[in-house]
Protein backbone atom coordinates (compact mmCIF):
# COMPACT_ATOMS: atom_id res chain seq x y z
CA UNK A 1 0.00 0.00 0.00
CA UNK A 2 1.29 3.47 -0.90
CA UNK A 3 1.30 6.58 1.27
CA UNK A 4 -1.52 7.94 -0.89
CA UNK A 5 -3.62 4.84 -0.25
CA UNK A 6 -2.91 5.16 3.46
CA UNK A 7 -4.12 8.78 3.40
CA UNK A 8 -7.35 7.60 1.83
CA UNK A 9 -7.75 4.95 4.50
CA UNK A 10 -7.11 7.52 7.19
CA UNK A 11 -9.72 9.86 5.71
CA UNK A 12 -7.33 12.79 5.43
CA UNK A 13 -5.30 14.14 2.51
CA UNK A 14 -2.20 15.85 3.86
CA UNK A 15 -1.44 19.37 2.67
CA UNK A 16 1.96 18.99 4.33
CA UNK A 17 3.13 15.51 3.37
CA UNK A 18 6.19 15.87 5.59
CA UNK A 19 3.88 15.56 8.59
CA UNK A 20 2.71 12.18 7.34
CA UNK A 21 6.30 11.05 6.78
CA UNK A 22 7.28 12.18 10.28
CA UNK A 23 4.27 10.49 11.89
CA UNK A 24 5.32 7.19 10.34
CA UNK A 25 8.98 7.50 11.38
CA UNK A 26 9.84 5.39 14.43
CA UNK A 27 12.51 6.60 16.85
CA UNK A 28 14.76 3.76 15.78
CA UNK A 29 15.59 5.56 12.51
CA UNK A 30 17.09 8.60 14.24
CA UNK A 31 16.26 12.02 15.71
CA UNK A 32 13.67 12.91 13.04
CA UNK A 33 10.96 10.67 14.49
CA UNK A 34 7.33 10.68 15.59
CA UNK A 35 7.75 11.02 19.37
CA UNK A 36 6.63 14.67 19.58
CA UNK A 37 3.65 14.03 17.31
CA UNK A 38 2.78 11.02 19.47
CA UNK A 39 2.74 13.28 22.55
CA UNK A 40 0.39 15.73 20.84
CA UNK A 41 -1.82 13.03 19.39
CA UNK A 42 -2.25 11.36 22.77
CA UNK A 43 -3.67 14.60 24.20
CA UNK A 44 -5.93 15.22 21.20
CA UNK A 45 -7.21 11.63 21.24
CA UNK A 46 -8.05 11.79 24.94
CA UNK A 47 -10.11 14.93 24.39
CA UNK A 48 -11.92 13.55 21.34
CA UNK A 49 -12.89 10.28 23.00
CA UNK A 50 -13.72 11.98 26.29
CA UNK A 51 -16.07 14.42 24.57
CA UNK A 52 -17.68 11.65 22.51
CA UNK A 53 -18.39 9.55 25.60
CA UNK A 54 -19.65 12.58 27.54
CA UNK A 55 -22.15 13.41 24.79
CA UNK A 56 -23.24 9.83 24.07
CA UNK A 57 -23.84 8.76 27.67
CA UNK A 58 -25.38 11.62 29.67
CA UNK A 59 -26.38 9.25 32.48
CA UNK A 60 -22.95 7.67 32.98
CA UNK A 61 -20.94 8.46 36.09
CA UNK A 62 -17.44 9.90 35.99
CA UNK A 63 -15.85 6.58 36.93
CA UNK A 64 -17.74 4.76 34.17
CA UNK A 65 -16.65 7.33 31.61
CA UNK A 66 -13.05 7.14 32.79
CA UNK A 67 -12.96 3.36 32.39
CA UNK A 68 -14.60 3.59 28.96
CA UNK A 69 -12.07 6.16 27.78
CA UNK A 70 -9.19 4.06 29.10
CA UNK A 71 -10.55 1.04 27.22
CA UNK A 72 -10.75 2.98 23.96
CA UNK A 73 -7.35 4.68 24.08
CA UNK A 74 -5.26 1.84 25.53
CA UNK A 75 -2.38 0.34 23.58
CA UNK A 76 -4.10 -2.84 22.32
CA UNK A 77 -7.08 -0.87 20.98
CA UNK A 78 -4.82 1.59 19.17
CA UNK A 79 -2.81 -1.31 17.74
CA UNK A 80 -6.05 -2.85 16.44
CA UNK A 81 -6.89 0.46 14.75
CA UNK A 82 -3.42 0.54 13.21
CA UNK A 83 -3.97 -2.93 11.77
CA UNK A 84 -7.40 -1.95 10.47
CA UNK A 85 -5.75 0.98 8.67
CA UNK A 86 -2.67 -1.03 7.64
CA UNK A 87 -0.36 1.53 9.23
CA UNK A 88 2.39 -1.03 9.81
CA UNK A 89 3.17 -1.43 6.13
CA UNK A 90 4.11 2.26 5.88
CA UNK A 91 6.26 2.59 9.00
CA UNK A 92 9.87 3.69 8.69
CA UNK A 93 11.89 1.54 11.11
CA UNK A 94 15.54 1.00 11.94
CA UNK A 95 17.10 -2.28 10.84
CA UNK A 96 16.90 -3.74 14.37
CA UNK A 97 13.18 -3.08 14.66
CA UNK A 98 12.61 -4.39 11.14
CA UNK A 99 14.30 -7.68 11.97
CA UNK A 100 12.49 -8.09 15.29
CA UNK A 101 9.00 -7.66 13.82
CA UNK A 102 8.43 -4.03 14.75
CA UNK A 103 5.75 -3.55 12.11
CA UNK A 104 3.45 -5.82 14.14
CA UNK A 105 4.44 -4.73 17.65
CA UNK A 106 1.52 -3.23 19.59
CA UNK A 107 3.61 -0.49 21.21
CA UNK A 108 5.01 0.74 17.89
CA UNK A 109 1.64 0.57 16.13
CA UNK A 110 -0.21 2.38 18.91
CA UNK A 111 2.42 5.14 19.03
CA UNK A 112 2.11 5.57 15.27
CA UNK A 113 -1.66 6.01 15.50
CA UNK A 114 -1.25 8.71 18.12
CA UNK A 115 1.41 10.38 15.98
CA UNK A 116 -0.92 10.31 12.96
CA UNK A 117 -3.63 11.97 15.04
CA UNK A 118 -1.18 14.68 16.03
CA UNK A 119 -0.11 15.13 12.40
CA UNK A 120 -3.69 15.38 11.12
CA UNK A 121 -4.48 17.93 13.84
CA UNK A 122 -1.52 20.11 12.82
CA UNK A 123 -2.41 19.72 9.12
CA UNK A 124 -6.05 20.76 9.63
CA UNK A 125 -7.94 21.72 12.80
CA UNK A 126 -9.62 20.14 15.80
CA UNK A 127 -13.05 19.74 14.20
CA UNK A 128 -11.61 17.88 11.23
CA UNK A 129 -9.35 15.56 13.23
CA UNK A 130 -12.28 14.83 15.54
CA UNK A 131 -14.40 13.72 12.59
CA UNK A 132 -11.55 11.56 11.27
CA UNK A 133 -10.87 9.87 14.60
CA UNK A 134 -14.54 9.27 15.31
CA UNK A 135 -14.88 7.57 11.92
CA UNK A 136 -12.11 5.16 12.96
CA UNK A 137 -13.88 4.51 16.26
CA UNK A 138 -17.46 4.35 14.93
CA UNK A 139 -18.04 0.64 15.54
CA UNK A 140 -16.25 0.60 18.89
CA UNK A 141 -18.26 3.57 20.15
CA UNK A 142 -21.52 2.01 18.97
CA UNK A 143 -20.68 -1.15 20.93
CA UNK A 144 -19.57 0.69 24.06
CA UNK A 145 -21.62 0.78 27.25
CA UNK A 146 -19.66 2.53 30.03
CA UNK A 147 -22.04 1.32 32.72
CA UNK A 148 -21.38 -2.34 31.92
CA UNK A 149 -17.59 -2.25 31.71
CA UNK A 150 -15.80 -4.47 34.19
CA UNK A 151 -13.38 -2.63 36.46
CA UNK A 152 -9.69 -3.37 36.02
CA UNK A 153 -8.04 -5.93 38.38
CA UNK A 154 -6.24 -3.30 40.51
CA UNK A 155 -9.49 -1.47 41.19
CA UNK A 156 -11.39 -4.71 41.89
CA UNK A 157 -8.69 -5.88 44.29
CA UNK A 158 -8.61 -2.58 46.16
CA UNK A 159 -12.39 -2.44 46.50
CA UNK A 160 -12.55 -6.08 47.62
CA UNK A 161 -9.99 -5.49 50.38
CA UNK A 162 -11.51 -2.15 51.45
CA UNK A 163 -14.95 -3.73 51.79
CA UNK A 164 -13.45 -6.21 54.28
CA UNK A 165 -11.37 -3.62 56.17
CA UNK A 166 -8.15 -5.30 55.09
CA UNK A 167 -4.85 -3.51 54.32
CA UNK A 168 -4.46 -2.36 50.75
CA UNK A 169 -1.90 -4.05 48.48
CA UNK A 170 1.46 -2.58 47.59
CA UNK A 171 3.26 -2.93 44.25
CA UNK A 172 7.00 -3.30 43.85
CA UNK A 173 9.00 -3.28 40.61
CA UNK A 174 11.29 -6.31 40.85
CA UNK A 175 12.82 -6.23 37.38
CA UNK A 176 13.01 -3.73 34.53
CA UNK A 177 14.68 -4.52 31.22
CA UNK A 178 14.61 -3.80 27.50
CA UNK A 179 15.20 -0.78 25.31
CA UNK A 180 14.03 2.66 26.55
CA UNK A 181 11.08 2.60 24.12
CA UNK A 182 10.15 -1.01 24.90
CA UNK A 183 10.57 -1.54 28.65
CA UNK A 184 9.61 -4.89 30.19
CA UNK A 185 8.59 -5.04 33.86
CA UNK A 186 8.16 -7.68 36.54
CA UNK A 187 6.05 -6.41 39.45
CA UNK A 188 5.15 -7.99 42.78
CA UNK A 189 1.78 -7.37 44.41
CA UNK A 190 2.17 -7.75 48.18
CA UNK A 191 -0.87 -8.38 50.39
CA UNK A 192 -0.89 -8.76 54.16
CA UNK A 193 -1.60 -12.33 55.17
CA UNK A 194 0.10 -13.90 52.15
CA UNK A 195 3.67 -15.08 52.59
CA UNK A 196 4.44 -15.06 48.87
CA UNK A 197 3.91 -12.01 46.60
CA UNK A 198 1.97 -12.25 43.36
CA UNK A 199 4.17 -11.66 40.32
CA UNK A 200 2.97 -10.02 37.11
CA UNK A 201 4.87 -9.03 34.02
CA UNK A 202 4.31 -6.99 30.92
CA UNK A 203 5.52 -4.31 28.53
CA UNK A 204 4.84 -1.32 30.76
CA UNK A 205 4.63 -0.99 34.51
CA UNK A 206 0.85 -0.61 34.51
CA UNK A 207 0.36 -3.83 32.55
CA UNK A 208 2.62 -5.71 34.95
CA UNK A 209 0.75 -4.32 37.96
CA UNK A 210 -2.60 -5.30 36.47
CA UNK A 211 -1.33 -8.83 35.79
CA UNK A 212 -0.10 -9.15 39.38
CA UNK A 213 -3.37 -7.74 40.72
CA UNK A 214 -5.37 -10.29 38.71
CA UNK A 215 -3.47 -13.16 40.31
CA UNK A 216 -3.89 -11.63 43.75
CA UNK A 217 -7.60 -11.09 43.21
CA UNK A 218 -8.12 -14.73 42.28
CA UNK A 219 -6.23 -15.79 45.41
CA UNK A 220 -8.04 -13.58 47.93
CA UNK A 221 -11.44 -14.53 46.55
Mark the binding-site residues for Mg(2+), compressed into ranges: 38, 111, 114
125 is catalytic: no
Domain with 123 in it: what CATH number? Answer: 1.10.1520.10
Domain endpoint, select from 120, 148, 176: 148
162 in the same domain as 101? no
181 in the same domain as 139? no
Q: What is the pLDDT of residues 183-201, one digit of tens each?
A: 889 999 999 989 999 999 9
**Rounded average pLDDT over 41-70:** 94
36 in the same domain as 116? yes
Q: What is the pLDDT of residues 129-164, one digit of tens each?
A: 999 999 999 999 998 888 777 778 888 899 899 999
Domain with 174 in it: what CATH number? Answer: 3.30.160.20
35 in the same domain as 100? yes
pLDDT at residue 181, as a whole number: 61
Full domain range(s) for residue 136: 3-148
- Catalytic, out of 64, 75, 114, 209: 114
Q: HEC profile for the chain?
A: CCHHHHHHHHCCCCCCHHHHHHHCECHHHCCCCCHHHHHHHHHHHHHHHHHHHHHHCCCCCHHHHHHHHHHHHCHHHHHHHHHHHCCHHHCECCHHHHHCCHHHCHHHHHHHHHHHHHHHHHHCCHHHHHHHHHHHCHHHHHHCCHHHCCCCHHHHHHHHHHHCCCCCCEEEEEEEECCCCCCEEEEEEECCCCCCCEEEEECCHHHHHHHHHHHHHHHHC
102 in the same domain as 77? yes
Total structural domains within the chain: 2
- Catalytic, out of 42, 64, 75, 97: 42
Q: What is the pLDDT of residues 17-34, one digit of tens each?
A: 999 999 999 999 999 999
42 is catalytic: yes
Domain endpoint, select from 148, 177, 210: 148
46 in the same domain as 91? yes
Mark the binding-site residues, compressed into ranges: 38, 111, 114
126 in the same domain as 70? yes
Q: How far apart are CA 194 and CA 106, in angstroms?
A: 34
Q: What is the pLDDT of residues 96-107, one digit of tens each?
A: 888 888 888 899
Kindly report the pTM of this predicted structure.
0.74
Domain endpoint, select from 130, 148, 166: 148
36 in the same domain as 141? yes
135 in the same domain as 39? yes
182 in the same domain as 141? no
Amino acid sequence: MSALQLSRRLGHSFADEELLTLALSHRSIGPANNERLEFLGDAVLGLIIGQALFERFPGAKEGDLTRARARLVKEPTLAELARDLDVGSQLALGSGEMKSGGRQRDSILSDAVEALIGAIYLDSDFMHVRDVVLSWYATRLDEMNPQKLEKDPKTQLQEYLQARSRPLPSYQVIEESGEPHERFYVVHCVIAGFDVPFAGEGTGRRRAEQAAAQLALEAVK
